[in-house]
Structure 1
Amino acid sequence: MTVALLTLLFLGVIGATADFLAMDRLQIHAFREAQRAATDWIGAFRPGAPPPTPAVRGAVDLLQLVDTRGRIVAASDAAAGMPRLSTLWPPDGDRIQDGVTCLPDGGCVLVSAVLPPPLYVQQVWRGEPHVVYAGMAQPPILAGNRLQILTAAGILLTTGLVAWGNWWMAGRSLRPVAEIREAMADITVSDLSRRVPEPPGRTEYTLLARTANRTLERLEEAVNHQRRFASTTSHELRSPLAGLRALLEEAVLYPGEVDAQVTVRDALAVSRRLETIVDDLLVLARLRAGDPAAQEPLDLSALVREEAPLHCDRVTIHVCARPGMTVRGNRIQLARILQNLLANACRHAASRIDVTAERGDGLAVVTVTDDGDGIAPQDRERVFERFVRLDDARRREPGGSGLGLAISRDIATAHGGTLVVEDAPHGARFVLRLPLEDRPRDGPGATDG
Structure 2
Amino acid sequence: MRLERCTIRGRLALFTGVVVGLLCIVFSTVLLFTINRTATDNLTKEVTAVGELTAYYVDRGKLVDPLPPIPQNLIRPVQVVDPQGRVVAATRDLQNQPAMAHFTPKSPHRVASAVVCHSVFTSGRCHIVVAQQVFHNGDWTIYSAAPTLPFAVYPGVMTLLIAGTVIFTVAVAYGARHTVTHSLKPVDAIRAQLDHIQSTDLGRRVPVPMAKDEIYRLARSVNQTLDRLEDMLEQQRRFCSDASHELRSPITAIRVQMEYALLAPQDVDPTDLCNAVLPSVERLQSIASDLLTLTRLDAGVPYERRLVDLAELVATELNGHRMSREIVQHLATGVTVSGDRTRLGQLVSNLVQNAQRHASSTITITVRHADDDPRFPEKAAELEVLDDGAGVAADQRETVFQRFTRLDTARSRDAGGVGLGLPIARQIAESHGGTLTIHESAQGARFVVRLPLSP
TM-score class, shorter-chain normalisation, is 0.5 to 0.7
Given candidates 376, 393, 413, the residue that maps to 2:430 is 413
Show the 5 A alignment for 1:426-441. 426-438=443-455
Which one is further off, 267-276 or 11-20? Answer: 11-20
The letter for the 1-side match of 2:348 is L
**Percent pairwise identity:** 31
1:228 aligns with 2:246: no
1:389 aligns with 2:403: no
- Which residue number corresponds to residue 402 of structure 1? 419
Aligned residues: 406
Q: TM-score by structure 2 length? A: 0.66
- Which residue number corresponds to residue 423 of structure 1? 440
Cα-to-partner distance string for 1:267-302 (whole Å, 9 max, x where unaligned): 443332222112111111222333222221111111
Distance in structure 1 (CA, Å) of the matches to 2:278 and 2:366: 37
Structure index of larger Rg: 1
Distance in structure 2 (CA, Å) of the matches to 1:212 and 1:426: 44
Deviation (angstroms), 1:29: 2.9
Given candidates 31, 46, 57, the residue that maps to 2:47 is 31
The letter for the 2-side match of 1:369 is L
The answer to whether the 8 A contact 1:308-1:319 is kept is: no
Quickly say closer, same or farther: Cα 1:30–1:183, change in 2 above 3 A: same
The answer to whether the 8 A contact 2:20-2:172 is kept is: no
1:291 aligns with 2:301: yes
Deviation (angstroms), 1:403: 0.8
Q: TM-score by structure 1 length? A: 0.67
Cα-to-partner distance string for 1:238-269 (whole Å, 9 max, x where unaligned): 444445445545555x4469747455554443
Distance in structure 2 (CA, Å) of the matches to 1:339 and 1:92: 108
Quickly say closer, same or farther: Cα 1:435–1:32, change in 2 above 3 A: same
1:372 aligns with 2:424: no
Deviation (angstroms), 1:325: 1.0
The answer to whether the 8 A contact 2:104-2:132 is kept is: no
- Which residue number corresponds to residue 71 of structure 2? 56
1:319 aligns with 2:329: yes
Quickly say closer, same or farther: Cα 1:302–1:53, change in 2 above 3 A: closer
Q: Secondary structure at the match of 1:234?
A: helix
Gaps of 5+ in 1: 67-74, 104-108, 121-128, 439-449
The answer to whether the 8 A contact 2:131-2:144 is kept is: yes
- Which residue number corresponds to residue 347 of structure 1? 357
Gaps of 5+ in 2: 1-14, 81-89, 106-110, 372-378
Distance in structure 2 (CA, Å) of the matches to 1:65 and 1:10: 41
Show the 5 A alignment for 1:144-155. 147=154, 150-151=157-158, 154=161
The answer to whether the 8 A contact 1:37-1:134 is kept is: no
Deviation (angstroms), 1:321: 1.0
Cα-to-partner distance string for 1:307-366 (whole Å, 9 max, x where unaligned): 224323433222121111111222111211221222222223333222222223233222
The answer to whether the 8 A contact 1:4-1:160 is kept is: no
Quickly say closer, same or farther: Cα 1:87–1:332, change in 2 above 3 A: same
Deviation (angstroms), 1:36: 3.2
Show the 5 A alignment for 1:193-212. 194=205
The answer to whether the 8 A contact 1:54-1:63 is kept is: no
The letter for the 2-side match of 1:337 is L
The answer to whether the 8 A contact 1:196-1:212 is kept is: no
Q: Secondary structure at the match of 2:244?
A: helix
- Over aligned residues, Cα RMSD in angstroms? 5.4
